[in-house]
Amino acid sequence: MQTILGSTGIIGRTLAKELAQYTNKITLVSRDPKKVNTGDELVKADLLNRQQVIDAVKGSDVAYLTAGLKY
């Protein structure tokens, strides 16, 4: 399973479209997730909440961080 953290931004949406050419197991994670591809799984999570992020990526083979987080 591929998981995209920050999936509603331009990079996350573009990545989801590209990944769909190779897999149908894509999880999109955001505060307000929206499907990009018909088979996408949606997970609502705040990326500043450690436990929500841990839960969101559980079972993932690859997790992509595409959100622009403040550091």
**Structure tokens belonging to residue 46:** 């705040």
Report the mean per-residue pLDDT for the chain: 94
- For residue 14, is pLDDT > 80? yes
Q: Which of 50, 52, 62, 61 is nearest to 29 (CA)?
A: 52
64 part of a folded domain: no
User: Which pLDDT score, from 0 to 100, does residue 32 have?
Assistant: 92
Residue pLDDT, tens place only, 28-53: 999 999 999 999 999 999 999 999 99
User: Which pLDDT score, from 0 to 100, does residue 17 have?
Assistant: 97
Which whole number is the average pLDDT over 5-10?
A: 93
49 part of a folded domain: no
Which whole number is the average pLDDT over 10-21?
A: 96
Number of domains in the chain: 1
69 part of a folded domain: no
Domain range for 31 is 7-41
> Is residue 33 classed exposed, middle or buried when 0-12, 13-18 and 19+ CB atoms within 10 A define those classes?
buried
12 part of a folded domain: yes
User: Which pLDDT score, from 0 to 100, does residue 68 have?
Assistant: 82
55 part of a folded domain: no
